[in-house]
Structure 1
């Protein structure tokens, strides 16, 4: 057996340029008296290999011997210690990129394009609730279609929309990981869909009151409470509840209400506030609501902040109605389609939707304010029980 431990720590430090054997395959290559590197020479499957063990003097003689012992043990089992070290290094690298971390990083990268910078949690919650508890601690490079299938199978049919959102968010996380240079299976979500099969669940639309019935309900909201007034303004404007609930006095000037862009969901690609023409009836509702105003909000809650999303819904439930406040947008849109000759672009803009692609919007910047002013006035008249004669509106070129 070859001699071992030929060098001493003090002796290694005093050596000049050259190659010096410690024994059993461990060598010290010195560039000069101050610098060098440790090398382990080994023969694996008939091939001579040299494995670097670190720089001298950063790696001490004792540490170099321990590393050489570990590499020697691997070689004695017929494996290449250099290749095994690379495998371990790659494995450790993969483990640094767990899905938990990738998901958070992907969310941070998308915050700017989410409503309110994603503070409501709607983007992240499908992942947080249904994916990360099971897959969060897995290296993202190891996630395959079987993992995804097993994770989403419990909700695939019973909570179909939630499952779709979770699948979509997971797919975005994998794309984010790929952009970071990680080796991931971008097809895993689609393959998981194939394994899960077609969803049995059919999306249920929010119940909407037929537009001919809306006037009677509108006129029943006559108590002047915050809830009644909020419902009146929601019906009159065709806006979503968030825009109504967080309405502020300084946003309203005369017969124009300028709603901040982040409160008008559905205006994809829009970054500008949304102007809402206020009918005489809407202005009267706002005037009455100002006596309830607190901290600038038109519709404050009893204790703090503004009325909740469920406040208006509960009022309708107490009346035994199956319809929901959000459905009044459909009521308004159906009235436009069936009782007026309103051009499509004007009709869609009236309920806060953007129309046309990005290029078209760049050239066609009108918000059809004057046409919508007429439309909202006629809608208010319909709600008050006036004639429902057909309204003809012409879009501007």
Structure 2
């Protein structure tokens, strides 16, 4: 009876040896615990029976089962550690080892799962639906349209698990030099989709795209400036503009230039944002590009213009106030960007844009005043690029900006 037991044990071990066996540990097993998994340093950490925790330099953690099958050593991903706890990873590893014992080839199982993986386009659209809630309206269209134009024709039908650096390179090559800024955004957005796929468990490991640009030529950096009127020509322009009959577009353009705001901020201005007695325009955060409230000190010339507009509204509508727009085509509908641009074109000014008057203001500050740059930046509602400096700078330079805007209006109307 004992000899029969020894024979059975020997035969069983031979079967297991032929089907699978854990690879030899390159280092001592670290007896994984949840805490150790969370704080493990970069490297490959062995748990037991061929299960490893793979920690990359980026900090990402994933489970890998290393087995020898058919005389070859192979690694099989079991998912990211933040989605697959230690206990589940051990169960998955045990299930795969059982499959090997049953004669199922793990690579075949992997090929089946890869065939059933969603396409890159499907994942991209899911990623878009998940993220778009926190974006501005204009970004919704631009984000997905860049995929439809540049990405989906090349890799849209590929399984997301098959999208690697070579596939991404095929997307970037046609546009890398012709539209460099778009190409960089495309690369960043592909990375976002692949990260989304990894987080959702559709891709077993993070896909690094850092080496993709090494296969592309160097982009030459070119700065494209908005067409802007020189500050020397601005006073003559404002004099000619003021001499023309009042229209919504002309009045909106005058206010935009006098306050150095963005055209959208002037077009969508409402009467409840203004305190003409205190000469202050309070633009709420929701209407600002940087989503930070901006208080504009109004020069006497701007207040005079606004009082005239207010009187015109009173005569036309019988009342002014609430959320009524200063410049509207119909009630509740602001004038378009083209309305102010058309004023410039009708005056035969082809070398300037509405937004360019902010550059005109910046040049005037630099050339004709001793005002520090940070005061001018605050007048333009620019965000401070240095995060540390932004954290410590609490002032908005309001009093200094009032002096500056008064000087700017006096310069324009001199």
**1:52 corresponds to:** none
Contact 1:316–1:322 (Cα < 8 Å) also in 2: no
Contact 1:211–1:334 (Cα < 8 Å) also in 2: yes
Alpha-carbon deviations, 1:193-226, whole Å to 9, x = none?
3323123573421111111111111222232111
> How far apart are residue 128 of structure 1 and its match?
3.6
1:336-351 equivalent positions in 2, closer than 5 A: 336-351=365-380
Contact 1:247–1:298 (Cα < 8 Å) also in 2: yes
Contact 2:283–2:295 (Cα < 8 Å) also in 1: yes
What is the alpha-carbon distance in structure 2 between the residues aligned to residue 136 and residue 262 of structure 1?
35
Q: Secondary structure at the match of 2:141?
A: coil
**1:233 corresponds to:** 255
1:182-331 equivalent positions in 2, closer than 5 A: 182-183=203-204, 186-188=207-209, 190-199=210-219, 202-222=222-242, 223-254=245-276, 255-265=279-289, 267=290, 271-290=291-310, 291=312, 296-301=324-329, 305-318=333-346, 319-331=348-360
1:68-107 equivalent positions in 2, closer than 5 A: 81-83=104-106, 86-92=109-115, 95-96=117-118, 98-107=119-128
Alpha-carbon deviations, 1:107-149, whole Å to 9, x = none?
4554465335x66534443234322343233233321233223
| Cα gap change, 1:86 to 1:171, in 2 (>3 Å) | same
Residue ranges of structure 1 left out of the alignment (5+ in a row): 1-43, 47-74, 386-397
Compute the TM-score of the two structures, normalised by the length of structure 1: 0.67
What is the alpha-carbon distance in structure 2 between the residues aligned to residue 227 and residue 252 of structure 1?
19
Q: Secondary structure at the match of 1:221?
A: helix
> How far apart are residue 231 of structure 1 and its match?
1.1
| Cα gap change, 1:131 to 1:219, in 2 (>3 Å) | farther
Contact 1:336–1:347 (Cα < 8 Å) also in 2: yes
- Please, which of 328, 348, 364 is the counterpart of residue 393 of structure 2? 364
> How far apart are residue 82 of structure 1 and its match?
4.3
Contact 1:106–1:176 (Cα < 8 Å) also in 2: yes
> How far apart are residue 356 of structure 1 and its match?
5.9
> How far apart are residue 376 of structure 1 and its match?
0.6
What is the alpha-carbon distance in structure 2 between the residues aligned to residue 347 and residue 325 of structure 1?
18
Contact 1:141–1:185 (Cα < 8 Å) also in 2: no
What is the alpha-carbon distance in structure 1 between the residues aligned to residue 332 and residue 283 of structure 2?
22
Pairing 1:114–2:135 present? yes
> How far apart are residue 330 of structure 1 and its match?
0.8
Pairing 1:151–2:171 present? yes
| Cα gap change, 1:310 to 1:161, in 2 (>3 Å) | farther
> How far apart are residue 249 of structure 1 and its match?
1.3
| Cα gap change, 1:194 to 1:289, in 2 (>3 Å) | farther
What is the alpha-carbon distance in structure 1 between the residues aligned to residue 297 and residue 358 of structure 2?
16
Residue ranges of structure 2 left out of the alignment (5+ in a row): 1-68, 72-99, 318-322
Contact 1:148–1:192 (Cα < 8 Å) also in 2: yes
Q: Secondary structure at the match of 2:282?
A: strand
> How far apart are residue 99 of structure 1 and its match?
2.7
| Cα gap change, 1:162 to 1:135, in 2 (>3 Å) | same
Name the larger-Rg structure. Answer: 1
How many residue pairs were aligned? 303
